[in-house]
Every structure is written in structure tokens, then in C-alpha cells.
Chain A
Amino acid sequence: MTGQPVHCFPIFALTGIMLLLLGACAEMKPLEYTEIHEIPPGPGLLSGEDGEYVIIE
């Protein structure tokens, strides 16, 4: 792959505008997203349904 690099900012701006329009025109529901490097919510092997040990409560 050679040649002029694609300018990213217009692509991001266009994507952002599309998402705004999509959210405005459609019935957008909130979505809880856990970033891929984070420990996601959910059960654990030893800790059970909560996936964590509660030490102090």
C-alpha cells in the first residue's frame, strides 16, 4: 500500500455526523459497552455471579 495517506479527520467527522443523525432520527437505546482491555461485568469462576469478592460493605 503506497501513495498519499488518507486524511482521517474528515472520515471521523463524517462518522460522527452520521451517528448524530442516526441517534436523532431513530429510537436509539443506551448501550453499556465495556472496553476490550477492561474486566467485563459478569460471573467469575470463584467469585460467583458478581464476579468480584466484596471485602468491605
Chain B
Amino acid sequence: MMQKHLVLPIFAATAFALGVLATPGSAQTLDELKAQVREMSKRLQELEAKQGQLETLTDQTRIDSRTVISGKQGVKLTVSGQVNRGLLYVNNGDKDDFFHVDNDNSSTRVRFVGTGDLTEDITVGAQIEVQFESNSTAAIRIDQDGSAGPNNFTERKLELYVDSERFGRLWLGQGDTASNGTSEVDLSGTSVIAYSGIGDMAGGIAFSDNNVLGPRIGQVFSNFDGLSRDDRIRYDTPSFSGFKGSVSALEGGAVDVGLRFSGEVAGTKIVAAGAWADASSIDANNFKQYNGSVSVLTPLGISVTGALGSRDQDSGTGDDPFFYYAKLGYTFDAVSFGATSIAIDYEAVDDLAQAGDEAQSYGAFVVQRYDKIGAEFYLGARNHELDRSGSNFDDILAVLVGGKVRF
């Protein structure tokens, strides 16, 4: 205790003073001394109480008071998520409108991730990730009167995994298949508003031929990005010189294989992916497909991204559907609080919805990051064209402005 070494001398001196002065002639002085002793005792008790509080506070600050403590070692449960909202303008040549949207390029979502260390090498994990897209950009219609659904949480990931640095990772549950994301590698910094998935910006909007509605953007554009997310078992190999292989088997019997690469040489970042998928057991068209993408980001900030894919299907529509995509981007530090990225892109898709269809899209985009708060603010415009025999569809213009904030 702080004042312990002073307690005895104080009382001893006080007692001596009382003894010396305890005579009838000094009664008034004795009363004063007694009052002083009582006051000093009271102050000493207050000091002792504060000392105790200080010691308790020191113990508590060793553990973050916001965290629930588990009795187990090496376990962790976290919550994270993001909100991505925007304002979308669409003009299909006959009508135009504004929409308050959830940006399907990277939807509003929340996730819970739990991990536990079994050994130094093996970690077990589980995650629940769900999204809630109120008026999704991929679902809106030009003539809608209210928000497009679904008005509820939808699944993204409900899975567990076992991870070993030596043997790789095994996944089980609803989540990314081996081929998901293999058409979408992108280092341009603009993927929050634009990437090879054209339909995420305004996919529900239909082409119009003199006020007669035809196919929607999402029906004539596709980046053949594997088998998406599904209920599956998946295995990933460990990384070998930047390469990682994956294979998955889905509910219904579909299978796919993926190969990914990421590395950096001389300051240039390179990411690539490719996949093969056989969805013949779960898709009415019995399709098989190849697809892949590559993206390069140079030290100067210039990025080049490309993707392509081909699908072999039994729809009897003629030539096999095919797509290719290209993007040129530039990332620089216009402001101090985060990188600025600009890009232009182009995509062409043939024979997807109908034999002879030629769909093309091109656009320009800008994204501004605010690193400290995990935010991206974006603006972009995209034009969509569809050439179909027997029809004369107008182009569809879509302009999206918004922000994504990670909480």
C-alpha cells in the first residue's frame, strides 16, 4: 500500500501528542488534536480504498471488457459485414427510371466466422454468411412499382472446413465450388462496380423493341463463372509456388475442377484462374464449360484484366455459347485517404440465350477508397447492346453511383 510505511509513525506521533497534552490545562487543545486524528484516520481510509480500486482496474484492463472469454484455448468467433447501397439510372430506349438499389456486384451481408486450433498444423472452422438485398441491381425491372425481392436473408455460405498447411483444406456445406470466381480475378480496384459479371449492374432490365420487351440483360450476358455457390464437398491443395488446385462435387452430381495462381514478380502482381465444370446432371442443357481469367497490376498502377469461356451444351441452338472480357485500369493516389481507381471494359457474349445472339457491353468506372473506414465510393456507366435476328432492340444505358462500407 502506498501510505503503509507512514501509518505507524502518524499514530505514534499522535498518541505521544495526546499523552503530553492530556492535562486539565490543555483540554481545548486535546479536543482539537482528537479531531485532527479522526480527520487523518478518515483520509487514510479513503487512500486505502482508492488504492484497492486502482489494483482492481489494473486487473480488468488486462482482458478486453468487450470480449466474451471462452474456457478453451485457440478458439475465436468473429462477426463482420458490409452494406452496399446505390442509386441506379436505367434507360432502355423507351423508358427510363431511377432505382434505390443494393449493388449485386458485392451485396449487403453479415457473416460469423468461428475457428479453433486442433494442432499446430490443423485448424477447424465454420462460417455463416448471409446477404439481404433490398431491391438488388440484378433483379429490378424497368416497370416495377415497388422494390424487387426477395425481402429476406438469402444464403451465401453455411459451411465448415478443416485446414492443414501440409495437406490443404477440406470444405463441407453451402459455399464456393471449385470453379466459382475463376472468371472474375481482377486487380483493377473497380470490381465493386464492374467486372466480367455484366448482369450484376442492371441484370433484370429487359431490352425493348418499340416498347415490346425482350430478354433481360442477365439472360443474354454470362461470364460462365463455374458452378457458383452450392451445397458441395470441396478440396483445395496446399499452395505450390503460387498455384492451388481445387475440386468439388455438388448436390445433384455436378463436378468441377479449378486452378488458381497468385504471385508477385518485380513489383508486378499477377492473379490467374481457370476451371472446367460438368453440370450435365443438374442443368437442363447438360452443359460442360471451360473458363478462365487473368489480371496483372504493374508498379505504375496500370492494370490489365481478361476473361473468356466457352460452354458445350445440348440446347440445339447452334454454335456453343462463348464470351470474352477485357478491362484496362489505372490506380493512383489522388487523395491521401485511399487509392483512386479508374477503368474501362468491354465484353462480348455470343449464342447464350438464342442461336445467333450477339450481346456486347462497354463501360467506364471510377472508385475511391477510404481506407480508414473500409469504404469504397463508386460511379460508373455501362451500355448494353443486343443484336438478335428478327428484332431491333434499343441499347440499355445504366448509370450507378453508390458506396460500400464495411462495418
Known: A53-B78, A56-B77. A5 touches B70 (CB 8 A): no
Residue of B whose beta carbon sits closest to that of A46: B407
- 29 CB contacts below 8 A, A to B, read A2-B358, A15-B272, A16-B259, A19-B242, A19-B263, A20-B243, A23-B242, A28-B242, A28-B264, A30-B242, A31-B269, A31-B270, A36-B191, A39-B80, A39-B109, A42-B371, A44-B374, A44-B406, A45-B374, A45-B405, A45-B406, A47-B407, A51-B374, A52-B79, A53-B78, A54-B64, A55-B77, A56-B68, A57-B76
Task: Determine whether the beta carbon of A56 is less than 8 Å from that of B70.
Answer: yes
Of all A-B residue pairs in the complex, the 9 with the closest CB atoms, nearest first, are: A52-B80, A36-B191, A5-B322, A56-B77, A52-B78, A33-B262, A8-B290, A31-B262, A45-B373
Determine the interface band of chain A, counting residues with CB < 8 A from chain B: 35 or more
Q: Is the CB of B70 within 8 A of A33?
A: no
> Inside 8 A of A33's CB, which chain B residues have their CB?
185, 262, 271
Residues on A with C-beta less than 8 A from B280 are none
Chain A residues with CB below 8 A from B123, complex form: none
Q: Are B350 and A5 interface neighbours, CB within 8 A?
A: yes
Given contacts A45-B406, A46-B407, contact A1 B79 (CB under 8 A): no
User: Is there an interface contact between A39 and B274, defined as CB atoms closer than 8 Å?
Assistant: no
Partner of B261, one of A19, A35, A39, A53: A19
In the assembled complex, the CB of A10 is this many whole angstroms from the nearest CB of chain B, namely 10
A-side interface mostly: loop
On whether A31 and B263 interact (CB within 8 A), knowing A15-B292, A39-B82, A39-B406, the answer reads yes
Q: Which of B81, B195, B291, B375 has the most CB of A within 10 A?
A: B81
B57, chain A: closest CB distance, angstroms: 21
Nearest-CB residue, chain A, relative to B322: A5
Residues of A that sit less than 8 Å from B by CB: 1-2, 4-9, 11-12, 15-16, 19-20, 22-24, 26-33, 35-37, 39, 42-47, 51-57
Contact of B106 among A6, A15, A36 (CB under 8 A): A36
Q: Do residues B373 and A44 form an inter-chain contact, with CB atoms below 8 A? A: yes
- Does B348 touch A at the CB level, under 8 Å? yes
The answer to whether B374 touches A26, judged by C-beta atoms less than 8 angstroms apart, is: no
Let me know if B111 is at the binding interface, CB within 8 A: yes
Within the assembled complex, what's the spacing in Å between the Cα atoms of A39 and B193? 15
Q: Is the CB of B348 within 8 A of A51?
A: no
A46 to B372, CA, bound (A): 10
Known: A30-B242, A37-B181. A12 touches B292 (CB 8 A): yes
Complex contact B70–A7 (CB within 8 A):
no
Given contacts A8-B308, A33-B271, A56-B67, contact A1 B78 (CB under 8 A): no
Q: Is B405 within 8 A of A28, CB to CB?
A: no
With a cutoff of 8 Å between Cβ atoms, the chain A residues found around residue B310 in the complex are 5-8
